[in-house]
């Protein structure tokens, strides 16, 4: 696993790859070369930003993001194919989710075209940091936040939209499957709250539960709904699916669960395989009675869940190469990596011509 905030050695501009030990790549932060920054004043719209060298921000101690948590982030990846192409996966869906979150947090937002253009520019500006095929991906992190100072009431005078990227390996390293703890005390999200958008405020409040679970030997935490405490919702940063016979169920999007781009894609692929997919309330009992359980997300991709522990009782599920999760993982990554024809129009190929205005 890469140490946090480590700076990797850079290489000269005409080399294909940065000087990275790709076989040691984990899911941690590496400083790359460039990032994208655009700013917007109150009452205005975002205009085209620019690629600048990666650097720290200078920000007011009274900024809206620091004082009131007014911020959103997205996560997506760039993939290098076996034949040398660079691909994105459904970046427009991340742009639309950012737009939804911006409405919820009272912020202006870049258009879908601006968002996708910014992502493309960052990927191409950090092209040598995209891992070789099969050795990882370039993780892309767009962030929208209130950067202007505010004390007490609106309006926020300035907003910033930025995008950076870093190379990553697998988020979950255990190929045998995850062992989850069902959290029955803390809740991740509440009705009418921000659980359904990718607010920066959603994550650190439940770090304590994740840290405690990992200290007990668990891989991750599965949260229950706040209203009843009887239904499963999602992991720390992944959506969950259960399989029973020919029926695949996943908690419905109802305002407390993040509408994952990978989740949406997996639902479509699962139906293509002939399964019936139900988006519904999923009681804990249904989860414990499942034959197979897996989670999905940009970082997690499709990851098998080997067991869950609820109130000291451990329940195990089917794992291995014959599972639906394994088939979905192979199909999805084949599409993302350009190993098969993308018949759904999900991938976007990048070339220098896709961002003609890019200046480094």
Residue 118 CA from chain centroid, whole number: 17
Ranges of H-type helices in 126-277: 207-215, 261-272
Question: How big, in percent rounded to 5, are the helix, strand and coil portions of the chain?
Answer: 25, 30, 45
Give the span between the Cα atoms of 125 and 34, in whole angstroms. 6
Q: Tell me 149's DSSP state.
A: B
Residues identified as active-site? 198
Cis-peptide, bond into residue 232, ω within 30° of zero:
no
**Structural tokens at position 340:** 């098969």
Three-class secondary structure of residue 318 per DSSP: coil
β-bridge mates for residue 296, sequence order: 239, 302
* Residue with token string 């907003």: 159
Residue 125, classified by CB atoms within 10 Å of its CB into exposed (0-12), middle (13-18) or buried (19+), is: buried
């Amino acid at each position: 696993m890469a140490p946090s905030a480590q700076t990797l050695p850079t290489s000269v501009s005409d080399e294909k790859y940065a000087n990275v030990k790709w076989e040691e790549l984990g899911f941690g932060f590496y400083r790359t070369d460039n990032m994208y920054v655009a700013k917007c004043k109150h009452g205005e719209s975002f205009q085209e930003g620019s690629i600048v060298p990666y650097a720290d921000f200078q920000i007011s101690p009274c900024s809206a993001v620091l004082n009131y948590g007014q911020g959103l982030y997205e996560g997506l990846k760039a993939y290098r194919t076996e034949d040398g192409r660079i691909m994105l996966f459904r970046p427009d869906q991340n742009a639309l989710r950012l737009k939804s979150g911006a409405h919820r947090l009272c912020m202006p937002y870049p258009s879908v075209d601006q968002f996708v253009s910014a992502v493309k520019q960052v990927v191409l500006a950090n092209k040598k940091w995209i891992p070789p095929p099969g050795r990882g991906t370039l993780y892309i992190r767009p962030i929208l936040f209130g950067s202007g100072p505010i004390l007490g009431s609106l309006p926020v005078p300035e907003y910033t939209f930025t995008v950076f990227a870093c190379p990553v390996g697998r988020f979950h390293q255990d190929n045998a499957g995850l062992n989850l703890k069902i959290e029955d005390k803390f809740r991740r999200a509440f009705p009418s709250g921000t659980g359904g958008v990718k607010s920066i405020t959603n994550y650190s409040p439940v770090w304590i539960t994740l840290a405690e679970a990992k200290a007990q030997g668990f891989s991750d935490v599965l949260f229950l709904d706040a209203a009843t405490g009887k239904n499963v919702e999602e992991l720390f940063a992944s959506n969950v699916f259960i399989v029973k016979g020919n029926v695949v169920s996943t908690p419905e999007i109802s305002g407390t669960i993040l509408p994952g781009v990978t989740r949406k894609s997996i639902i479509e692929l699962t139906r293509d395989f002939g399964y019936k997919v139900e988006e519904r309330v999923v009681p804990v009992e249904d989860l414990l009675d499942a034959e197979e359980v897996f989670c999905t997300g940009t970082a997690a991709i499709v990851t098998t869940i080997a067991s869950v522990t609820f109130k000291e009782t451990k329940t195990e599920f089917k794992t291995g190469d014959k599972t639906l999760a394994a088939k979905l993982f192979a199909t999805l990554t084949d599409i993302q990596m350009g190993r098969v024809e993308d018949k759904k129009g999900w991938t976007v190929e990048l070339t220098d011509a896709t961002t003609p205005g890019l200046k480094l």
